[in-house]
Structure 1
């Protein structure tokens, strides 16, 4: 991805991106304002007979990494890193609220804060521009956080072209221009000849929208199973 970006596999022999003990990795990337592209690998378990890994396992692999990056506070501790999740983030947009509830129950955070963190990722469209997946991604991701992706050279050319056609025919022309070019230029200003901005100094955790967040936490506690 060039001098200002790196690619990380979602897991390496079962150790996931976002797991504890990875600060020595994140600190220099944060200092450089790096773009980190997270791509799936084989799950740390045998594949199920009859289910090719690309059909389900790779999507789960990316989802696991995104979950840990949010659950363990990596995206907030290192705010200068811009994470890009491949394949529309796996299952992240589709089941984002389910994951937000799980993390809120585990950490005591507001589910709305957790959703903010998931929406803060960027997402590529590789093999994901289908009539079901693409509207879900467009509804979930923040504006400017969707990038065109092909999965080349891993996916067959016919598969990449099939999903590229879905992107071209299923998106408003203005949005398509942003997905195909403008959003990537914002992540990589050198592509336009614009000097890259100096990474901001680490900032405190974002101020909570106090009343909204407190209300969300209260409601979540009231509906948790097992509470009187």
Structure 2
């Protein structure tokens, strides 16, 4: 690799703390989302993997099942705890980590308080929002004050899937990240489209994970139904146009099928690198990077590494410094 080639900027990277895992287990998440076990995480091990894969910077966030386990007060405390831990990792390793802060949704007042703390005290790079919390999806009108504040701050909002409330029947006993996560991503983005949230708050930068989940193949169907069922006189752009404004990370098995489907929906300037580590093991991250580095990039670009990193630096200006 040429020394002039930039390192990847990973927008989809996760961290854990012992306290967080303990609290999640106490809340019944012994096997989180049906996967066999909680992964281990340390900043040192994460940095070693980043160096092996030429990942320059990773944006840390807490993955599913998020921080709200049923009690608003406890969720506020847990969100603050993990956000402070993530911010400490950023301070300890300048230039290597960033932070997407967790919010205690669906507690709106708690979320607004944490947005202020995350941005004004912790200097967070953005926020992470689970696709639903206890069945409250992101287009719910009760969440409008949160979207308004994030829009006011021109926030970067990283969406992350979690289990739907119906998973006991729909997952058929299989790990929810396999299929349920993909469709819950499509479900919450569709909810945002139908609620008009994305059109009302155009100053937001929204990152959709896993190559958009099921959205690339459902976009035309969503677009048609949206035009049929939007209130008469509504002038909001169609779903396909709005989806084209969002950003998408390449975490998961992007090749050989998902990434070409995504490129039929959005331009290459909307694509970002994502590893999904620590939930994706190191060997999986290494294989994913090797596959992207070997794959031909869109015409006129210099490779997936340079392309996705340039895109990420545009929306995360602190990383460019």
Per the TM superposition, whether the score is higher than 0.5 is: yes
1:174–1:139: structure 2 CA closer, same or farther, 3 Å change rule?
farther
Residues 155-205 of structure 1: CA distance to partner in whole angstroms, max 9, x if unpaired?
Answer: 223333333333222232525144431000001111112xxxxxxxxxxxx
Contact 1:103 1:111 in 2 (8 A): no
Which stretch shifts more, 40-49 or 82-91? 40-49
Contact preservation (8 Å) 1:127, 1:159: no
Q: How does 1:96-175 map to 2 (within 5 A)?
A: 96-107=219-230, 113-172=238-297, 174-175=302-303
Could you tell me how far apart the structure 2 residues matched to 1:36 and 1:85 are? Answer: 9
Task: Give the TM-score, by structure 1 length.
Answer: 0.78
Say if 1:185 and 1:191, in contact at 8 Å, map to a contact too. Answer: yes
Unaligned runs of 5+ in 2: 1-58, 60-98, 100-123
Cα deviation for residue 28 of structure 1 reads 1.2
| Aligned mate of 1:17, from 123, 138, 154 | 138
Q: Is 1:190 matched with 2:314?
A: no
Report deviation, 1:111.
Answer: 9.9
Aligned positions, number: 193
For 1:12 and 1:93, the matched residues in 2 are separated by 24
Separation in 1 of the partners of 2:181 and 2:174? 11
- CA RMSD in angstroms, aligned pairs only: 2.0
Comparing 12-21 and 162-171, the one that deviates more: 162-171
CA contact (8 A) 2:171 2:180 kept: no
Matched-pair contact (CA < 8 Å) for 1:144–1:178: no
For residues 131-165 of structure 1, the C-alpha deviation after alignment (integer angstroms, 9 at most, x for no partner) is 11111112221331110001111122333333333
